[in-house]
Amino acid sequence: MFDASSSDASSVHRTIHRLDGLVAVVTGAAYGPKAALGSVFADALCAEGARVVVADIVDAEPVAAALRARGGQAIAVRVDVTDEASVEALAAKAEEAFGRLDILVNNAVVGSNIPPVPIGALDVAAWDQVMAVGLRGSFLCAKAAAPRMARNGWGKIVNLGSTTMQDGLPNRLHYVSMKGGIQALTRALARELGPQGIRVNTLATGLVANPAAGAAFTAKPELVAAIRADRAIPEDVTPADLTGPLVFLCSRDSDAVTGQFIVADKGGFFT
């Protein structure tokens, strides 16, 4: 019988940092609203031993400072993910600070919290902004990170996806289309970069209880309740619920996984 009081049992609970020695870049990781996804992701990777580059178009130093205060290694870098020179500078700063680049989390996005807009009222500028940050930004960041990962013969790219890509979401055509493009990017990159030891996956969810989805949670509580009730596990999905899958996809535990659409939504969408 397993004896939890034995010395062997206690050794099971020793701290294991799955990302020790690795360097991760997380985009869209400034605090903004408290508990935004990117800052939670940066915290989770740092807790697993990664040295983290907290990147955002706004000041992300408070996030990096908080990670350092808890004993982690982190720097903040301002970046415009739609600008190739800015993204290349981000990757160069990661290498300059920590000597390498192993993990990229493409979290920067625009569109998840915008009001519903029917196609007749959707203007080109709004479409272009959502595509530029979400899809162009993910492409540019992967383009800058891939050769640096290839030099080490290993790397992980995690793109943030959405189940709206599969089930469709009316009146958010630009956001849903961008997320569909993200999965196409994931599949193509996985094929292209696999021979260089780089794995590329999409981590997707549905509605997450975080400030980016604040309008839905405050203005339409009945919709939120219906989404919650329809899940196999009828609970809210929180940013913390995504950190376990994220760390898995960033670690060597998932080395056999690439090109995949990994859904963490408590059973809200079954294909």
Amino acid, single-letter form, for residue 171: N
Tell whether 11 is covered by a domain. no
From CA 106, how far away is CA 66, in angstroms rounded?
Answer: 21
Report which residue type is found at 223.
L
Read off the CATH number of the domain in which 245 is found.
Answer: 3.40.50.720
pLDDT value of residue 34: 43
Q: What are phi and psi of 171, to 5 degrees?
A: 70, 15
Instruction: Find out whether 66 and 89 touch, Cβ atoms under 8 Å.
Output: no
Is 221 within a domain?
no
In a domain, 73, yes or no: yes
DSSP assignment of 35-77, as one string?
T-HHHHHHHHHHHTT-EEEEEESS--HHHHHHHHHTT--EEEE
pLDDT of residue 269: 62
Flag whether 214 is in a domain: no
What's residue 83's pLDDT? 98
pLDDT at 168: 78
Give the position of tokens 């999905």. Answer: 237
Q: How far is CA 167 from CA 137, 163, 191, 212, in A?
A: 24, 6, 25, 20
The amino acid sitting at 250 is C
User: 216 in a domain, yes or no?
Assistant: no
3-state secondary structure string across 183-219: HHHHHHHHHHHHHHCEEEEEEEECCECCHHHHHHHHH
pLDDT of residue 1: 36
In a domain, 13, yes or no: no
Question: Is residue 135 included in any domain, yes or no?
Answer: yes
Q: Is residue 7 part of a domain?
A: no
pTM assigned to the model: 0.88
Considering the candidates 31, 175, 248, 261, report the single residue annotated as catalytic: 175
pLDDT of residue 268: 79
DSSP type of residue 170: T
- For 78, the enclosing helix (H) or strand (E) is strand 74-78
Domain count, the chain: 1
- Quote the pLDDT of residue 145: 98
* Residue 31 appears among annotated catalytic residues: no
Q: Which residues span the domain enclosing 49?
A: 18-208+241-263
Q: What per-residue confidence (pLDDT) applies to 97?
A: 98
pLDDT tens over the chain, length 271 residues: 334 344 343 333 445 789 999 999 999 999 765 447 899 999 999 999 999 999 999 999 999 999 999 999 999 999 999 999 999 999 999 999 999 999 999 999 886 667 788 899 999 999 999 999 999 999 999 999 999 999 999 999 999 998 877 777 777 889 899 999 999 999 999 999 999 999 999 998 877 776 555 555 555 677 677 677 677 666 777 888 899 999 999 999 999 999 999 987 766 765 4
